[in-house]
């Protein structure tokens, strides 16, 4: 952060890279030279009724429309050609001092959103866990068939 300007962090929701990864991911945009003075965050929201992106409901180009529009204002400000953009429900800036104070944790902690409201119901969490356990069971059964090759008693 001293040698480069970390100017933008785009936080992507779970499932963006499904089926390869189901975790939240962030895109980091650096520019040389540094140092970083402040970083613009954008927290990409999920479409209405969607709990996560998936292979069946993949992220689309239009999901980035708001991010692109807001980023243009941020980029103009960074280049000295516009006023500082106002925070929105999905976009805000963080001074480098705050990033340093939290141990360089670059996670998108949206100050405009109540984190408690985002927690899923416990029944939804257990349903997800059961689904994962069933997937693992199926994978283990297939693996067992492959390594057994019909010789279960001759190990």
Specify the higher pLDDT residue, 110 or 71: 71
18 plus 78 within the same structural domain: yes
124 plus 107 within the same structural domain: no
CA 144/CA 14 separation, integer angstroms? 31
101 plus 124 within the same structural domain: no
Which segment of 16-20, 72-76, 149-153 scores lowest on mean pLDDT?
149-153
Does some domain include residue 155?
no
34-82 pLDDT per residue, tens: 899 999 999 998 877 777 777 777 888 888 999 999 999 999 998 888 8
Q: What is the mean pLDDT of residues 135-141?
A: 92
Does some domain include residue 49?
yes
108 plus 123 within the same structural domain: no
82 plus 144 within the same structural domain: no
pLDDT (0 to 100) of residue 154: 54
Domain count across the chain: 2
User: Which range marks the domain in which residue 124 is found?
Assistant: 119-149
Tell me if 91 sits within 8 A of 70, measured CB to CB: yes
78 plus 123 within the same structural domain: no
Does some domain include residue 78?
yes
pLDDT (0 to 100) of residue 62: 87
| CATH code, domain with 59 | 3.40.50.150
89 plus 140 within the same structural domain: no
27-45 pLDDT per residue, tens: 999 999 889 999 999 999 8
pTM equals 0.69
pLDDT-based confidence at residue 18 (cuts at 50, 70, 90): confident
pLDDT (0 to 100) of residue 84: 85
Does some domain include residue 127?
yes
């Amino acid at each position: 952060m001293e040698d480069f300007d970390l100017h933008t962090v785009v936080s992507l929701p779970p499932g963006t890279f499904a089926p390869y990864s189901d975790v939240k991911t962030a895109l980091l945009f650096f520019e040389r030279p540094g140092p970083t003075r402040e970083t613009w965050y954008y927290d990409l929201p999920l479409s209405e009724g969607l709990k996560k992106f998936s292979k069946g409901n993949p992220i689309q180009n239009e999901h980035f429309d708001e991010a692109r529009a807001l980023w243009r204002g941020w980029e103009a400000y960074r280049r000295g050609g516009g006023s500082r953009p106002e925070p929105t429900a999905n976009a805000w800036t963080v001074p480098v001092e705050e990033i340093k104070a939290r141990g360089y944790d670059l996670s998108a902690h949206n100050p405009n959103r109540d984190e408690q409201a985002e927690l899923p119901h416990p029944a939804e969490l257990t349903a997800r866990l059961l689904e994962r356990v069933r997937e693992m069971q199926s994978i283990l059964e297939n693996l067992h068939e492959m390594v057994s090759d019909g010789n279960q008693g001759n190990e």
